[in-house]
Structure 1
Amino acid sequence: MIRHLVLFKLNDGVGRDEPRVLAGVEAFRALGGQIEDLRFWECAWNISDRPIAYDFAINSAVDDADALKRYLEHPAHQAGVALWREFATWVIADYEF
């Protein structure tokens, strides 16, 4: 199995309640039910107020590298990425477990 983690940082001046952000969150929340290769899916807003904290996180799992590739290329994933690209940056980590 491969764990796929993503941490998002909203751009300066962007708020969680903006319509474009809400649309991005909904797009990612829906992925768990749209992409067969996902074995585990959760995403949520950060609850920590630490200055080093990111704003939003995705924690997911797929079977193998081929499944990860299919997930990353899936049209629903790409659509969500396009939304988030407008108002955030992110870092990722993928590891076997």
Structure 2
Amino acid sequence: MRMLALALAASTLVLGACATGSAEHAKMSFHKKGFYTHVHDGRLWVLKEGDKDIELVSKNKEPKVVVTRIAAGPNNMTIKSNSAEVIDAYLSAK
């Protein structure tokens, strides 16, 4: 019984740490001039400012075209966009 209690306590700590990590990402600013950025579920969405898909992404919905690069964003975040060119431009922007 004691082992079960220890296992439950350990899993609670791990899950809490994961949730905290996502919350920390949400608070971090990944903004770069000329881009709209939005963190959802620990993934960084990047669109060009003024893009028609900003409204969808801001409501945590996906556009028709989604390009995903796993662990390519800041802090090894997955980065998503509606265009590979936008991801490349964002990653090379200062």
- Superposed pair shares fold, TM > 0.5: no
The structure with higher relative contact order (CA 8 Å, sep 6+) is 1
Structure 1 or 2, whichever has the larger Rg, is 2
Greater strand share, 1 or 2? 1
Using the size of structure 1 for normalisation, the TM-score is: 0.31
Report the TM-score when normalising by structure 2. 0.31
